[in-house]
Amino acid sequence: MALDTTRFFTFRNMDALLQNFPWKKKTKSAIEERLYEESEKASKKPSAKNYSEGKTKMKVLIVSDTHGKDENLEAAVYKEAPFDLLIHCGDVEGREIFTEALVDCPCCMVSGNNDFFTDLPREEQIELCGKRILVTHGHYYGVAMGHEEIVEKTKAKDCQAVIYGHTHRPVVEEEDGILVINPGSLTFPRQQGRRPSYAVMDVEEGKDLQVEIKYL
């Protein structure tokens, strides 16, 4: 009597059957890709922290790359006080609490590539007198090679300006309709002359942002 093999599963048949199950197709990489897409969608939602409630005019001190050294930060703060907001573009290196205590105003700080074990956010979207601004360290966007990627990200987030650090070189310029600002470094400047630098930004409702690079 011949054996009816159609009534039995072989390992080969079982594998073929499993390949057709819906859950089999959801591989780890596919799930990770979906999570990444959802994260990207969430990051593009038009939400920004408003630091200018009740204000139509602000003075903002912008610093970056202090690398745990406070002397020049203190000098810049004392020179420019009073001001309404301090923005630090990263590489604070454990001096977050000191920085907040140093100034008599709110602080917006993001993490840099040297800020290990920190709770600082990777970047922030903020609103100042009707202007939406992206604050980031910049190393995720290849700023050492140029501004193309960071400008595209700023536009995608519906911001009119981006403030970044990382390169230790001061910049104020407009690219493709986006104002690009880098205050340079107060501790390890790399531009010609190597003077410690920071930026002061004047914000007024209904007017363009005014930014000046200053040196110690």
pLDDT in tens, 170-192: 999 999 999 999 999 999 999 99
CATH topology of domain 49-215: Purple Acid Phosphatase; chain A, domain 2 (3.60.21)
**Tens of pLDDT, residues 131-143:** 999 999 999 999 9
How far is residue 48's CA from residue 128's CA, in Å, rounded to a whole number? Answer: 10
- For the chain, give percent helix, strand, coil, nearest 5: 30, 25, 45
pTM above 0.75, yes or no: yes
- How is the chain split into domains, by residue range? 12-43, 49-215
Among 87, 18, 25, which residue's Cα sits nearest to residue 51?
Answer: 87
Strands 57-63 and 197-204: antiparallel
> Burial of 46 by CB count in 10 Å (0-12 exposed, 13-18 middle, 19+ buried)?
exposed
69's tokens? 């050294």
Length of the chain: 216
With pLDDT > 90 as the criterion, what percentage of the chain qualifies?
Answer: 77
